[in-house]
Amino acid sequence: MNQFLAKLRSSKPERVAFKAQVNTGGELELQCYDVIGQDYFGEGITVSNFSDAIKEAGDYSSVKLKINSPGGDVFEAVAIYNLLRAQGKPVYAVVEGLAASAASVVAMAGDTVTMGTGTMMMIHNAMMMAFGNADELRKCADTLDTVSGSIADIYAENTGMPKADCQKLMDAETWMDAEDCVKNGFADETAPGEEITNTFNLAVYAKVPEKLKTAPVVAGLDLATKDEPEIVIVPVEDPMIDIQRKRIALLRARG
């Protein structure tokens, strides 16, 4: 799972992943601007971020949930969804850029969901990285079917669509713009705002719209082409070696 989360990141680590603040009028604002779930270095947004923010907020009247995320760990997303729903406070979800994959599940926690200018949402079947023999991999496939069914339940409950219809959209890896989201029941309204340029690496997904493909070279792939990605010859080492080097450097710095 950590490898999957790492691939969702771009080469721009300067974004603020998660931020919480209580606004005037007692509104708890939660900004969800990164991958859902922890990666190798403990980065990424988790249910603990949300839980801690809620505890520290004290008395608040409502939640404003701002989202710009490429997705990530669906179980973490479901936990965030259930945590927000359990608070008994109105939740207003605002998609400010992208709510893809697991991030779309988080968005469903909103009593109302608003899509900003140029925003998109993507839903698809559960994915995983697996290693093992044929029997083990068959079990993984069965598990993925079960997880996808659970996600479809969440979409059906929140959109009013039949579960089978939600599942068809997931089967197709469906990318929806703001108007599509409202039409299909994934959002309640659109709102004007500044269009946000995508900075996430979405190469793990099959049907990424052209306008969301990040710049020229990402993980050795040319994502600017309209056809199949072209392999770009660049000096790339085993990522695990690079990770170990960084860990050693951190230990030396601390010593």
Give the model confidence (pLDDT) of 187-208 as tens digits: 999 998 777 778 888 888 999 9
> Could you read off the pLDDT of 12-40 as tens digits, one per residue?
445 578 999 999 899 999 999 999 998 77
- Phi, psi dihedrals of residue 193, rounded to the nearest 5°: 175, 180
Neighbour tally for 232: CB within 10 Å: 14
Could you say which DSSP state residue 211 is in? G
What is the DSSP pairing of strand 230-231 with strand 221-222?
antiparallel
- Residue 56 burial class via C-beta count within 10 angstroms: exposed 0-12, middle 13-18, buried 19 and up: exposed
**Mind giving me the DSSP string for 9-41?**
--S-TTS--EEEEEETTTEEEEEE-S-BS--TT
This prediction has a pTM of 0.78
Cα R_g (the chain), whole angstroms = 19
The partner residues of 121 in beta bridges, in order of sequence, read 99, 176
Residue of 166, 174, 163 lying closest to 205 (CA atoms):
174
The lowest-confidence range among 6-10, 15-19, 146-150, 215-219 is: 215-219
Ordered domains of the chain (ranges, CATH):
2-208 (3.90.226.10), 215-255 (no CATH)
Query: How many Cβ atoms are within 10 Å of 213's Cβ, its own excluded?
Result: 20
How far, in Å, are 10, 132, 188, 212 from residue 16 at the CA level?
13, 37, 27, 20
- Looking at residue 233, its amino acid is I
For the segment 92-135, what is each residue's pLDDT rounded down to a tens digit?
999 999 999 999 999 999 999 999 989 999 999 998 888 889 99
In angstroms, the CA 131 to CA 111 distance is 39
Q: What is the pLDDT of residue 186?
A: 98
Which pair of structure tokens corresponds to residue 236?
Answer: 């790339």
> pLDDT higher for 249 or 68?
68
What pLDDT sits at residue 94?
97
Contact 194, 176 (CB under 8 A): no
Is 185 within 8 Å of 160 (Cβ atoms)? yes
Q: Are 121 and 190 in contact (CB under 8 A)?
A: no
Q: Give which of 244, 251, 217 is closest to 233, Cα–Cα.
A: 217
Question: Any residues with CB less than 8 A from the CB of 108 and at least 6 apart, and which?
Answer: 81, 93, 154, 155, 158, 186
Lowest mean pLDDT among 49-58, 63-72, 174-183, 230-239: 230-239
Confidence (pLDDT) at 4: 57
